[in-house]
Structures are given as structure tokens and as C-alpha cells.
Homo-oligomer: A and B are copies of this chain.
Amino acid sequence: MKDRSALRLATLQEALASGGTLHLRDAAELCGVSEMTIRRDVNAHPQVISLLGGRLVMAHTPGVTPVYDLTEQQASHYQAKSRLCQRARRFIEEGDTLFIDCGSTLMPLMNQLSEFRELTVITYALNVANAVAVLPNVRLVMLGGLFYPTSQSFASDTMAESIERLGINKAFISAAGVDLQRGVSCFHFHEVVPKQAAMAAAMQRLLVVDASKFGVVRPAYFASVNEFDVVVTDDDDAPALLRDEHSGQPTITAP
């Protein structure tokens, strides 16, 4: 017998390629077989198509949910990040033009932007862009270039001058390491130019970092701590860690 199963799988994959869901009964009708057969097909290839509440969804295809369950622990980790961003949110005002850095730290902040009437977000990160693209009240400006998967962001040789031309109210910058002596650093060198350009162009510079980043140094240095106007953090000891004789010390958010 020919492998009709593979043929059906291909049909269903095609149907789902653009990223929707297909009800089991429709899939069965589409393939001209019983629901049970579709069930068996799909269960035999969980890495291709998954069955979720009677509906077929792609498991892995570009732009589609890998269907696995988050543990409660994983989920609560995001809660902590979310709290950090709730502090950062207090610095945003109606009508602001915000520069949003790449990384996962600032993602929860994007979910809070729907509370404003009108904002503009400038970013060079794909994940940030996606989060903002669905908000009808936020204008999105994307800085393009070559894509770097590790940071989900773009870089180009013209990015610095593109940023110079923009009017930025507040630059929200994230980092992988913060050290009073050795400065603020990140993992990837391609992030340095956009970060520095945004800081130069912005009226206010905010560093958003969780407690785990203090005393850490990463490969790519991009600024000293006192170049920032505000440090937003969830670390109770941050004020002590960042105490400095310099006059240009940033405000540190209380825990």
C-alpha cells in the first residue's frame, strides 16, 4: 500500500502553512478520510502537526507555535521581569517617542503600552516590533539591517545616522552586565552602535536591568553607568552598588 499518510500530512501542512488552525472535522473532510485517521496521522508526527483541543496546528513551521506546555516555574520567571517593567513604565508619558532596546528584558513593557492613548516606539529588534505591531495606539518605527538571530535584532552601517535623524524622548536600554568601574556591557558587538546612537539622540536615558546583572562584565562595552539619567532595577542593593563620588550619578528606582 502506498503511503497515503504522508500525502495527507503534506496536504494538512500546506493548509496550515500560513498559520491558522484547522478543525479535525474539516481536516478529515479535506483529506476525505475519517477523523480517527487524521488523529492517527497527526499523533504519529507530533513534531510536524499537533492536535490542540480538536484543532490542528503546526508544531514548528516558520511563524507558528511550537506546542509544548510551559511549566508554572517558567511562567513565574516572566512575572519577575514583568514587575521590573512595571517600574520602567512609570517613566513613560502620553505621546512619548520611545527607543526600545533588544533582548527579552523590555518585552513586558510592550504589553503595557496599550494603556496610553498615543505613543511612538523605535526599535531594531524583531521581537519588540512584533509586540508593538499589534498595538493600534502605538506608531512603530523599525530600524532594519542584517538580522542577528542571537539577539533577534538588526544591524547596518547606516543605522547610526538613521537614529541621529530621529527625535527620541526616552531611550530604554537593556544590558547583560553592569559594573560601576567597568561600565555597562552586552554580549554582542553589533548592538553597540544602535545603543550608543540612541543614547546620544535621546533626551532621557534609562537603563533597565534586573538584579542578576550587577557586578557582571560582558564582551561588548557600550556606556558608563553615569551616562544614564535613570537606572530601573529590582535590586534592593543597587543604590549601594552604584554609589559614586561623581556628580553625574543616575537616579535609581526604589525597590
Which residues of chain A have a CB within 8 Å of any CB of chain B? 6, 9-11, 13-23, 26-27, 29-30, 47-48, 52-55, 57-58, 60-72, 74-76, 78-79, 81-82, 104, 107-108, 110-112, 115, 124, 126-127, 129-136, 139-147, 149, 152, 154, 158, 162
Most buried by B among A111, A126, A129, A133: A111
| Apart from A22-B75, A62-B127: 6 A-B pairs, beta carbons within 8 A | A14-B108, A15-B76, A20-B65, A126-B130, A133-B152, A139-B147
Q: List 29 A-B contacts (CB under 8 A).
A: A6-B115, A10-B108, A10-B111, A11-B79, A13-B111, A14-B78, A14-B79, A15-B74, A15-B78, A20-B70, A26-B75, A30-B76, A52-B57, A55-B69, A61-B130, A62-B63, A62-B110, A62-B132, A62-B133, A63-B130, A63-B134, A126-B133, A126-B142, A133-B149, A139-B146, A141-B147, A142-B144, A142-B147, A158-B162
CB distance from A3 to the nearest CB of B (A): 9
Most chain B CB within 10 A, of A20, A115, A144, is at A144
Q: Which residue, of A19, A52, A60, A68, has the highest number of chain B Cβ atoms within 10 A?
A: A19
Question: Which residues of chain B come closer than 8 Å to A152, judged between CB atoms?
Answer: 133
Q: Is the CB of B53 within 8 A of A14?
A: no
A199 to B133, CA, bound (A): 27
Given contacts A52-B55, A62-B127, A64-B64, contact A141 B134 (CB under 8 A): no
Give CA–CA (A115, B144) in the complex, Å.
26
Asked if residues A129 and B131 are in contact (CB atoms below 8 Å), the reply is no
Q: How far is the CB of A110 from chain B (nearest CB, A)?
A: 6
Contact between chains at B29 and A72 (CB < 8 Å): yes
Task: Give bound CA distance, A51 to B19, whole Å.
Answer: 16
Contact A21 B158 (CB under 8 A): no
Residue in B closest to A10 when the chains form the complex, CB atoms: B111
* Beta-carbon contact of A111 and B17 below 8 Å: yes
* Cα(A124)–Cα(B142), bound, Å: 10
B65–A64 contact, CB under 8 A?
Answer: yes
| Beta-carbon nearest neighbor of A13 in chain B | B111
Q: Which of B22, B66, B79 contacts A15 (CB 8 A)?
A: B79
The distance in angstroms between the C-alpha atoms of A135 and B47, with both chains bound, is 11
